[in-house]
Amino acid sequence: MTKIRVGYIPIGIYSYFWRARDAGYFKDEKLDVELVPMAGGGQIIPALQSGALQFGISDALGVLNARNGGIPATYVSFNFSQASSDPVHAVLTVDPAIKTAADLKGKSVATNLSYNTDWTMMRAWLRKQNVDLKSITFREIPFPDMLPALRNNTVAAVGATEPFITLGKEQGARVLGYYFTDVQSPVVLSGIVGLLPYVESNKDVVRRFVRAINRALDDYSDPAIVRKTIAANTKIPPAVVEKMGLGKWQANVPPEQIQFWVDAAKKEGIVSSTADLKSLVWQDK
């Protein structure tokens, strides 16, 4: 057995790791996989650099930011998307005075991290709603802490993901909009990354790992399997699991799908150079 450590956020988007583990797909590939819960790409990329992790999840901006900083991050599986018909990110508020995006002027708004896809799309969504970004104070709050932050009036609105959107609605929160899919639908946004030196030196491990993940992604074409996996690995109430948005997973998403994020990152001044899109997704040769 080959031991590897994988950093991830324990939410529905990344539940395919649970499926690969629970269905025995990792074991079939002679992999002993430790799943390490983390806040996001901002923690995961440095852990990959230090060798504490072999793989980890990251949104597209995490990879672009890493490359911009000279870190050779590459996707080994770029796989998750959402569309207007099944969004998994939403802007939530509990303030009855906030009815539209315009009411957020002068307020604080939270995303899970800064300079990532959530932060970028929140800014794009507010801009699309004709909100002056200079009037908004952006805060970082991890997804699990967002609903308490709303109830405590720490922030006026949050960019939440499932299951916290459905949980929030059950607790009286309201959706102001869907800050990803209102801007772009469909949009592919995340997957699993490694660092090129490790990936190129351990091609057999990467192939086995990706094969196991792809089996889980194939299973996830059935929403019932997704919901069953999430229910088995979390304490989310069954009624919420049945209602929550899921999004869509697929293996072998074309690297060209990252172009949207390159353009978005340039607009925010995060990157200045044009990325070689094919180099951002590992090509097994």
Whether residue 46 has pLDDT greater than 90: yes
Domains of the chain: total: 2
Phi, psi at 196, each rounded to 5°: -55, -40
Last residue of a domain, one of 177, 194, 211: 177
Query: Which string of b and e fits 214-240 if b means at least 16 CB within 10 Å?
Result: bbbbebbeeeebbbebbbebbebeeeb
| Average pLDDT over every residue of 146-156 | 97
Give yes or no: residues 105 and 223 share one domain.
no
Give yes or no: residues 194 and 128 share one domain.
no
DSSP string of 72-93?
A: -EEEEEEEEEEBTTB--EEEEE
What is d(CA 108, CA 90) in angstroms, rounded to the nearest whole number? Answer: 16
CATH of residue 126: 3.40.190.10
For the segment 241-250, what is each residue's pLDDT rounded down to a tens digit?
A: 999 999 999 9
Range of the domain at 149: 89-177
User: Full-prediction pTM beyond 0.75?
Assistant: yes
Rg (the chain; Cα; Å): 18
Give yes or no: residues 30 and 97 share one domain.
no
Give yes or no: residues 193 and 62 share one domain.
yes
For the segment 53-106, what is each residue's pLDDT rounded down to a tens digit?
A: 999 999 998 888 888 888 999 999 999 999 999 999 999 999 999 999 999 999
Give yes or no: residues 59 and 75 share one domain.
yes
Residue 285 inside a domain? The answer is no
Last residue of a domain, one of 177, 208, 236: 177
Give yes or no: residues 199 and 70 share one domain.
yes
What is d(CA 185, CA 206) in angstroms, rounded to the nearest whole number? Answer: 30
Q: What is the predicted pLDDT for the residue at 274? A: 65
Last residue of a domain, one of 147, 177, 207: 177
75-84, 114-123, 222-231, 269-278: the lowest-pLDDT one: 269-278
Q: What is the predicted pLDDT for the residue at 68? A: 84
Q: What is the predicted pLDDT for the residue at 275? A: 65
